[in-house]
Amino acid sequence: MDRAKQDSGETVQWAAITGVIATVSVFAIAQGLSYPLLSFILQRQGVSPAMIGLSAAMTPIGFIVSSPLVPALARRFGAGRTALTCAALSALVLALIGWTQNVYLWFPLRFLIGAVTNPLYVLSEVWVIALAPPTRRGRVMGIYSTIISAGFAAGPLCLLAVGTEGWPPFLVGIAAFLFCGACLASVLARLPKVDESGHRVSVLGFVPQAWLLLSAVIVAAGFEQAVLALLPVYGTHYGIAEARMSALLSERLTARLVRFICVSMTVLGCVLLPVLIETPLIWPCVFIWGAVSYGIYTMSIIELGERFTGSALVAGNAAFSLMWGVGGIAVPPLAGSAMDVVGAGGLPMTLGAICLALAVVTVIRRRMV
């Protein structure tokens, strides 16, 4: 009888995990679609790479501003209600972006979409970590990261089907955000209270407790968002069509659970990008490059779940999101400016430099411990 009850509890837990992963996967589709879509549109308008990178940085600024508010919002309104509201607001803001089609109006709107999508992503990730059994957390988070990456990959692939002009791509993103809310609502009753256990920890108060983990998030975020925003620009330098770049982006975003060696392999990918961009070998190169670069974040989030619980876990995830914003605001404009100065090669040079810096800091840190 006790064994049956235990199995039943395990079934409910995995059902909830599946629902949350489905929620954030659909969210990833919308995010994966929006970055290259807006870059393609701005490029057709003759906007410079530096301005495209600066425009892309507005979404992570929204992450930065909203991240310290996530724990308080979850306590005040409930994590579920906060996440559902953010899903609806995300759809609304994306509709406004599609309606305006103006580079300057997109600055505040891209800031807003970062601010309203951030709590949805943070709380979903906290739920997955909290629901995963400690003995299986690494496996669950590996599956989670792989499926989320598949969602990001599906975003650029959608552009192959609907194109990058007019309302169709925006309608796909809007529908994805609304469906995301529907997925979350279906499992809301099974989700744990993630913001009530332990003493309250602020986001900024969490930073000194895991600064190296947060540094890894900055690098992973800067890499991810710079590639999404600027790889389309990089491809056009070599005369590669939008459709092929959309497909290439989807290959880049398929992730696997990898070890720390991913940092060094990411640097190698940056070195190989200009060498292979015009050859068929670019496809496997970018596939592996994307897997190992996202592995930086995957391993960081697994360690976060192993070290923290309760309100500290919520604060930690919000801190991860804040640092994701820092990476996103700093690296795309930096890479875009480098491309303005030295040409297309500025993208792999910038990305390789930040990944190499993380590898060096990690080695030094390990020797000091």
Q: Which domain holds residue 133?
A: 2-368
b/e per residue 334-356 (b: at least 16 CB within 10 A): bbbbbbeeeebebbbbbbbebbb
Contact 336, 230 (CB under 8 A): yes
Number of domains in the chain: 1
Contact 116, 89 (CB under 8 A): yes
What pLDDT, on a 0 to 100 scale, did the predictor assign at position 103? 85
pLDDT in tens, 60-91: 888 888 888 888 888 888 888 998 999 999 99
Distances from the Cα of 343 to the Cα of 41, 72, 321, angstroms: 20, 44, 31
What pLDDT, on a 0 to 100 scale, did the predictor assign at position 164? 80
Q: Which residues of the chain have a pLDDT value below 50? A: 1-12, 251-260
What pLDDT, on a 0 to 100 scale, did the predictor assign at position 94? 92
pLDDT in tens, 146-179: 777 777 777 778 888 888 888 998 998 899 889 8
What pLDDT, on a 0 to 100 scale, did the predictor assign at position 290? 64
**Mapping DSSP to helix (H, G, I), strand (E, B) and coil, where does residue 309 land?**
coil
User: In one letter, which amino acid is 257?
Assistant: L
What pLDDT, on a 0 to 100 scale, did the predictor assign at position 170? 92
User: pTM value?
Assistant: 0.69
- Assign residue 207 the CATH number of its domain: 1.20.1250.20
What pLDDT, on a 0 to 100 scale, did the predictor assign at position 33? 83
**Beta strand residue intervals within the chain, DSSP E:** none
